[in-house]
Amino acid sequence: MFKNNNVKFLFAILLTAIISAGITFAVVQKDSGLSQAQGKSDDPFEKLYSTYDTLKGEFYQDTNQEKLVDGAIKGMLQSLDDPYSTYMDQEEAKGFNENISSSFEGIGAEVQESDGKIMIVSPIKGSPAEKAGLKPKDKILKVDDKSVEGMTVNEAVMLIRGEKGSKVQLVIERDGVGELDFNLTRDTIPLETVYTEVENGIGKVQITKFSETTGKELADALNKLNDQEVKGLVLDLRQNPGGLLDQAIAMSDIFVPKGKTIMQIENKDGSKEVQKSQNDSAVNVPVVVVVDNGTASAAEIMAGALNQSAGIPIVGEKTFGKGTIQTAKSFEDGSSIKYTIAKWLTPDGSWIHKKGIEPQHKASLPAYANLPYLNPDKELKQGDSSAEVKVAQQMLKALGYKNVKTDGFYEETTKNAVTQFQAKYSLKSTGTISGETTIKMLETLQAQLKENDTQMEEAIKVLNEQMQ
């Protein structure tokens, strides 16, 4: 399967996590009390220094020097109008570094600022966010009844994160659906980022993010698959929010022939750096890549490289579309700034920012994959009429209870279907949907989706055509 196992891994860390920042300043001018500037200075920072001195000396309450300085830094980054450039205080910087390099406790979803709102890029595999049914492009409106409007992503993340076992309630807005309530129990988000399985001689490799260990995990996984003599590989990059640039380059190097372009970096002055594969391709079996609208950043770099420079076909849905590179600068007090330093381009020079990558073979999941989450704490019963009832009816329909209406009114046929479902799974026969019944419906639907993964089926079909 492999031509050689001497895969070179690069470790020059360029961060590509998805965070943003923002701050608002309000100025009230009284009719008197503002002094006039005495001439114009050539020092562009005089106004900044003067403002600081004025507030320290004349503001009607005591001021905090650290907060004033932090606010000025936040304001500078916010003025860039770039959702990926931000200031992080000590606590936020610690959380950011944990997300890149180790496990952490929370709900397991990458978020960013989009048009002034906090948006989910992708839930992480096996996380509370994924199990609850949060989707890419969901916009977070409230956390535990507290509005996140006007917050930076860092501030919102600090509200969402918490100790394992603690609960958090989110109100999100989903396009075409409206507002939805999610009650999640926080958990430890694991370090492992590469998962494999073999089916009918085909190796399936799911990569969930690009952290410091992902390149080594992939190399180890491919070596194990080599021992099992698989005939082809499916690389699953769905719901992968990205991560470290160096890992994306090193992992692409395994598949892209030596000397071929992996990506291009376009600097501020327009100059371009071309990143080429440094090794002979280590894989010599057919490969297919699967993507969706949660495939972002470093995952898009890898998908683009494998497609354009190794001729590997892409299956699925258009990707997220993040085409910029970030780095970080840390300060002695533990705070840091993260800012965009360049664009990245695909091997053919395309900038996919806000556009995404279009797969050659389009495939969508069944419609029920996009059904909203149902809150197990909320009871749905005969006589109720609501959007939640309609969702429950659509779930029952997808699970094979064909006589159920999907009009949002909980009538006799819905109650009968629920009773049948409860009997099938040895649940208390109440005819109502709540608690264990809701959880079992969600779990059963998720298991059915795994068995009816139409995107993976299409990928295997394309792979089989290559293997013939």
The predicted-structure confidence for 99-146, as pLDDT tens digits, reads as follows 544 456 788 888 887 777 888 887 877 788 888 888 888 999 999 999
Catalytically annotated residue among 127, 264, 326, 422: 326
CA distance 97 to 157: 13
Domain boundaries, the chain: 49-81, 103-189, 197-324+339-362, 380-451
pLDDT band at 343, cuts 50/70/90?
A: very high
CA distance 225 to 1: 9
Is 326 a residue of the active site? yes
209-255: pLDDT as tens digits: 898 899 999 999 999 999 999 999 999 999 999 999 999 999 999 99
Q: Is 464 helix (H, G, I), strand (E, B) or coil?
A: helix
Report the range of poorest mean pLDDT among 89-98, 162-171, 333-342, 392-401. 89-98
CA distance 368 to 365: 8
CA distance 187 to 164: 4
Percentage of the chain beyond pLDDT 90 is: 63
Percentage of the chain beyond pLDDT 70 is: 89
Is 322 a residue of the active site? yes
What does the mean pLDDT of the chain come to?
87
253/13: higher pLDDT = 253
Q: Do domains 103-189 and 380-451 have the same CATH topology?
A: no
No. of H helices and E strands in the chain? 12, 19
8/361: higher pLDDT = 361
Nearest in space to 328 (alpha carbons), one of 97, 154, 8: 97
Task: Answer for the pair 88, 15: CB distance below 8 angstroms, yes or no.
Answer: no
In 197-291, alpha helices (H): 214-227, 245-253
Report the range of poorest mean pLDDT among 150-154, 180-184, 412-416, 438-442. 150-154
Residue 194 pairs with which residues in a beta bridge?
207
CA distance 154 to 88: 7
45-83: pLDDT as tens digits: 899 999 999 999 999 999 999 999 999 999 999 899 998
**Does the pLDDT of residue 414 top 80, yes or no?**
yes
Catalytically annotated residue among 135, 260, 322, 390: 322
pLDDT band at 171, cuts 50/70/90?
A: very high
Catalytically annotated residue among 277, 297, 308, 309: 297
pLDDT band at 162, cuts 50/70/90?
A: confident
294-330: pLDDT as tens digits: 999 999 999 999 999 999 999 999 999 999 999 999 9
Q: Is 432 helix (H, G, I), strand (E, B) or coil?
A: coil
CATH class of the domain at 103-189 = mainly beta
Task: Answer for the pair 245, 299: CB distance below 8 angstroms, yes or no.
Answer: no
Structural fold of domain 380-451: Muramoyl-pentapeptide Carboxypeptidase; domain 1 (1.10.101)
* CATH code given to domain 197-324+339-362: 3.90.226.10
pLDDT band at 23, cuts 50/70/90?
A: very low
Predicted confidence at residue 37, as pLDDT, reads 42
The burial class, CB within 10 Å (0-12 / 13-18 / 19+), for 361 is middle
Residue 122 pairs with which residues in a beta bridge?
110
Is 206 a residue of the active site? no
Task: Answer for the pair 235, 286: CB distance below 8 angstroms, yes or no.
Answer: no
pLDDT (average), residues 349-366: 97
Retrieve residue 19's tokens.
């965070």
